Structure 1
């Protein structure tokens, strides 16, 4: 071997050694993340559960996974619908439509002048661009048009959605119906303890005043919240003035839910809304009905708790500090 070749060879060996070290470090990191259950981007997961909030089919039941942004938008769509006294079917139709039109993202672009969650067009009278990019407004516009469709809750989802949207691809809504139905069951509170989110560590403290404002914006002035410091509590019974309608109805009239238990269902609706909004509003912990969800232990989902403040008479939310 020549003297001049040795440094070149040594350089190659050093580069190979460095590359191997990086690969080994990456493999070690992935192994730790796998064994600890951590890692991956923030996400929200909805699972089918029974009335007590336990998974009916273990890990084999229906599951829908989404980003925190998508979960927050889905929760807003649901809250606007139930606050108007609309049935779960209406929420399912709205969610399936938004899944198709925007993948539950509040888009500032689209075909021609289409915008927002439902890709509504200012030029077609849906509102100003600023209004359409407000999820509460755009969801309200969708429901305003949906309730004008006679018997919409008994129509195939594709037909009901198409009567509102006038899409060039009306059959595309059908593929989203199973996911939309699973989401609606959780977000309207029928499926207890079925939504959990993993969220990034809060870089800034949460603002309880902002949480209260968002609650009223989504659910209307009928939601009354209290609390002090970082905590926000919502008495469930005080929110039933904006109770949702019978699940078989297709009118905008208000009333109790079919099958009884409107307060419990309303409580889970508020609790799931808080978890879905946790990344946006910096909510660290939510408790209701003997269960607690914590951002720090998100991998455990909703866990049983005997701690004070987990009763069925109120939903408690604690913001990051």
Structure 2
């Protein structure tokens, strides 16, 4: 897919995500406490922390407490990343993106609170070509779809997290992904080898 066409398709998806970020499914679903204080780094088990956050974090970092379902989704994202033959950095970008888009919840249709037809961990839209509702509410499929988009971004490995995520997601709030980098890296460090 050429770059102009990909940007056009991803741009349409980004417009859909924008409404959801401001007042869409997450705001209507339920509130999570977000702690925007400086965070401590969790020691990773055999994962090179420099590989997880090669550019350092950008801005104030947020953190939420995760329930069992959200941890299961973290593990599903890591498994799909490995299945896609991508590294820990790709998992950090994926988890941070899902933290921003859905707080790691596999969201179905939320009625009037839904942002158009955005669904799943990454708030992907069937109408924008991400897959069927059944596919994009499958954590493995939705992660692999996100990673497929990430692989098409030239130099994603060398980009700051928020730039790489934004290039795939095309959000109206391009810097929003950055706030989740530390928690995403901590989760990859904790679960990559488990």
TM-score, normalised on structure 1?
Answer: 0.40
- Aligned pair 1:89/2:61, yes or no? no
1:221-274 CA-to-partner distances (Å, cap 9, x unmatched) read xxxxxxxxxxxxxxxxxxxxxxxxxxxxxxxxxxxxxxxxxxxxxxxx3xxxxx
**Taking structure 1 as reference, are residues 157 and 113 closer, same or farther at Cα in structure 2, changes over 3 Å only?**
same
**Offset at 1:168?**
1.0
Among 122, 126, 135, the residue aligned to 2:126: 122
Distance 1:51 1:93 in 2: 19
Gaps of 5+ in 2: 1-40, 47-62
Separation in 1 of the partners of 2:45 and 2:103? 29
Q: Which of 28, 34, 43 is the matching residue for 1:49?
A: 43
The number of residues matched between the two structures is: 135
Distance in 2 (alpha carbons) for counterparts of 1:124 and 1:111? 13
Contact residue 43 and residue 186 of structure 2 kept, 8 A: no
Runs of 4+ in 1 over 6 A off after TM superposition: none
| 1:148 to 1:65, Cα distance in 2 relative to 1, 3 A | same
C-alpha separation in 1, matches of 2:43 and 2:179: 22
Of 166, 187, 191, the residue aligned with 1:187 is 191
Q: Is the CA contact 1:113–1:123 (under 8 Å) kept in the aligned structure 2?
A: yes
Find 2:115's aligned residue among 102, 111, 116: 111
- Aligned equivalents of 1:113 and 1:102: distance in 2? 14
Structure 2 partner of 1:286:
none
- Equivalent residues in 2 for 1:152-171 (5 A)? 152-171=156-175
Aligned to 1:233: none
Greater CA radius of gyration, 1 or 2?
1
Paired residue for 1:246? none
Cα shift readout 1:120-177 (whole Å, capped 9, x = no counterpart) = 0001000011111111110110011101111111101111001110111111101000
Match in the other structure for 2:138: 134
Q: Which runs of 5+ in 1 are unaligned?
A: 1-46, 53-62, 190-268, 270-321
* Matches for 1:235-254 after TM superposition, within 5 Å: none
Q: Distance in 1 between matches of 2:92 and 2:98?
A: 10
Q: Give, in angstroms, the shift of residue 48 of structure 1.
A: 2.0
Q: Is the 8 A contact 1:157 1:174 kept in 2?
A: yes
Q: Is the 8 A contact 2:96 2:184 kept in 1?
A: yes
Distance 2:95 2:181 in 1: 8
Give the structure with the higher percent helix.
2
Q: CA deviation at 1:51?
A: 5.0
